[in-house]
Chains A and B, each alone.
Chain A
Amino acid sequence: GQNIDQPTEMTATEGAIVQINCTYQTSGFNGLFWYQQHAGEAPTFLSYNVLDGLEEKGRFSSFLSRSKGYSYLLLKELQMKDSASYLCAVMDSNYQLIWGAGTKLIIKP
Chain B
Amino acid sequence: NAGVTQTPKFRILKIGQSMTLQCTQDMNHNYMYWYRQDPGMGLKLIYYSVGAGITDKGEVPNGYNVSRSTTEDFPLRLELAAPSQTSVYFCASSYSENEKLFFGSGTQLSVL
Contacts and interface: CB of A to CB of B under 8 A. Distances in A.
Contact of A95 (B42, B58, B97, B106): B97
Contact of B40 (A42, A44, A99, A101): A101
A98 B103 contact: no
Contacts, number: 44
A42 B3 CA distance: 13
B90 A95 contact: no
6 contacts: A30-B98, A33-B100, A43-B101, A45-B102, A48-B100, A89-B43
B101 A45 contact: yes
B45 interface: yes
B98 A87 contact: no
A67 B51 CA distance: 34
A19 B71 CA distance: 39
A44 B103 CA distance: 7
B90 A43 contact: yes
A31 interface: yes
Given A43-B101, A95-B98, A102 B42 contact: yes
B105 interface: yes
Contacts of A100: 42
Nearest to B38: A101
Interface residues of B, number: 17
A97 B42 CA distance: 10
Contact of A41 (B100, B101, B106): B106
B2 interface: no
Interface string B84-98: 000000100000011
Contacts of B58: 96
A38 to B, nearest CB: 11
Given A41-B106, A99-B42, A102-B42, 10 more contacts: A8-B40, A42-B106, A43-B43, A43-B101, A43-B103, A45-B100, A95-B97, A96-B45, A96-B58, A97-B45
A84 B100 CA distance: 19
